[in-house]
């Protein structure tokens, strides 16, 4: 069974910020990036970074914390694939 995914206030606010800049992300899209990540890396302070392709040029990176029962999204952002893929 998949863990419940929640969004901290900062992550909730990111949806609005990106929409103001013409980028629309959805909660299902962010959840899918975590559940079907192409790559999961270790981040700072025991956080994890899920990475999934958006298109040929960009990836979606999702920073999250995970416990036995819950995944909490801290933030997310699109990034140039060339910066994170070697």
Tens digit of pLDDT per residue, the chain (86 long)? 678 999 999 999 999 999 999 999 999 999 999 999 999 999 899 999 999 999 999 999 999 999 989 999 999 999 998 888 75
Assign 57 to helix, strand or coil: coil
Give the integer Cα–Cα distance in Å for 55 and 45: 29
pLDDT at position 86? 58
Cα gap 74→10, rounded to integer Å: 7
Residue 11 pLDDT: 96
- Please state the separation of Cα 75 from the chain's center in Å: 6
Closest CA to 50 of 68, 66, 41, 58: 41
The set of residues, in sequence order, having a beta carbon less than 8 Å from that of 24 and lying 6+ positions away, is: 18
What is the spatial distance between Cα 30 and Cα 33, in angstroms, rounded to a whole number?
5
């Amino acid at each position: 069974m998949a863990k419940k995914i929640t969004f901290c206030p900062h992550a909730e606010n990111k949806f609005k910020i990106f929409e103001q800049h013409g980028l629309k992300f959805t909660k299902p899209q962010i959840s899918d990036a975590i559940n079907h990540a192409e790559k999961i890396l270790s981040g700072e302070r025991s956080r994890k970074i899920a990475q999934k392709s958006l298109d040929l040029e960009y990836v979606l990176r999702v920073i999250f914390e995970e416990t036995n029962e819950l995944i909490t999204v801290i933030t997310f952002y699109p990034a140039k694939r060339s910066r994170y893929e070697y």
